[in-house]
Amino acid sequence: MSALNGIKVLDLTRVLAGPYSTMILGDLGAEIIKVEAPGGSDDTRYWGPPFKGTESAYYLCANRNKRAITLNLKSEEGIEVLKKLIKRSDVVIENFKSGTMEKWGLGYDVMKTINKEIIHCSITGFGQNGPYKNLPGYDFIIQAMSGLMSITGSDQSGPMKVGVAISDIVTGLYANIGILAALQERTRSGEGQSIDISLFDSQISALANVASNYLISGNIPGLLGNQHPNIVPYQPFPTLDGEMVVAVGNDGQFKKLCTLLDLEAISTDDKFTTNSKRLENREELVNILTKKMKTRTSKEWLLLLNENGIPAGPIQNMEQVFNDPQVRERNMIVEMEHPTAGNVHLVGSPLKLSRTPVEIHSHPPIAGEHTDEVLAEIGYSTDRILALKENNSI
């Protein structure tokens, strides 16, 4: 039995933060019902190429382990169906603009009269209060406004976004933390609650040590490139045939690195003996190490450093990543059949639970694929379902 077996989640989200959150809950065994407008309203269905059959790679990445229905939430009948689904659900997660659910007469105050145990999770760009609450929130905008872009990139590149929609991913993970905490608290109180998660808050929280550096020192960090603001050496180095990363985390590792590089003299140099000193003299030290690293190939250095406990790794492209034996051994690629896309490969789950392992059992659904099935489960007859379709309510 899966960890979240028996938990029912009503997913009113689209794009990435919300769907990513509910996909993880589905991987853990929760029943996920994905709700879209008739015809399909998740924008990512159309974000391509690449496509596999009629499905975009983007949509496929965040929507497995769900059943999909369509509802017209601008119709009274569509709202009535949704209320019946809320009554049987444990969690409702949505990412509409602030006030949208209230406009439909389905704010949390109404939801809890339908089901006092319901946990409502709202994901928005900026949260339910504050001067920005009505602004739309896209990952790129959040990366810019949160300060992430101000530290990402180099003097040559200027401010850069992270290559994946990291603000969405982080927000989806925070949403799940909140949902799981609320589910646990409900076992004591017997009541649900509302969770207000924003991309802006989540990304600022994820600035971690860089934000703390500023709050403690008052110094505004600039573009950090591939160097660490607090640790040296912790960056890429050129080799005889390419580039690789070395990440020395303490003084003992630095001393061992110097021995392996035949640079024992600098390990006892007062300018480099502690991390604080290495930070002060970063440029000089990096120049010394760079000159030495250029004398061997990346493969030679990786073999030597890994054998001797010095954190180091290659800079891999996607092809190299998904052919990496560690990735294969950890089941980080999964295959499944899709009714229109055929055989598809998806990224596996990083969650490895010993007694209740993750199960990836169903393909990312076609819009409305399970509408008839789900409505029948909540008491709608075949004739009534047909009438709802004719009225464009589902």
Read off the pLDDT of residues 294-335 as tens digits, 9 standing for 90 and up.
Answer: 999 999 999 999 999 999 999 999 999 999 999 999 999 999
Q: Give the pLDDT confidence score for residue 232 in this predicted structure.
A: 95
Q: What is the mean pLDDT of the chain?
A: 96
- Write the secondary structure of the chain as one string of H (helix), E (strand) and C (coil): CCCCCCCEEEEECCCCHHHHHHHHHHHCCCEEEEEECCCCCCHHHHCCCCEECCEEHHHHCCCCCCEEEECCCCCHHHHHHHHHHHHHCCEEEECCCCCHHHHCCCCHHHHHHHCCCCEEEEEECCCCCCCCCCCCCCHHHHHHHCCHHHHCCCCCCCCCCCCCCHHHHHHHHHHHHHHHHHHHHHHHHCCCCEEEEEHHHHHHHCCHHHHHHHHHHCCCCCCCCCCCCCCCCEEEEECCCCEEEEECCCHHHHHHHHHHCCCHHHHCCCCCCCHHHHHHCHHHHHHHHHHHHCCCCHHHHHHHHHHCCCCEEECCCHHHHHCCHHHHHCCCEEEEEECCCEEEEEECCCCCCCCCCCCCCCCCCCCCCCHHHHHHHCCCCHHHHHHHHHCCCC
Looking at the chain, the whole-number percentage of residues with pLDDT higher than 70 is 100
Residues designated catalytic: 168
Low-confidence stretches of the chain (pLDDT < 50) are none
Q: Give the pLDDT confidence score for residue 212 in this predicted structure.
A: 97
Q: Give the pLDDT confidence score for residue 1 in this predicted structure.
A: 87
Q: Give the pLDDT confidence score for residue 182 in this predicted structure.
A: 98
Q: Give the pLDDT confidence score for residue 392 in this predicted structure.
A: 92
Q: Give the pLDDT confidence score for residue 115 in this predicted structure.
A: 98
Q: Give the pLDDT confidence score for residue 149 in this predicted structure.
A: 98
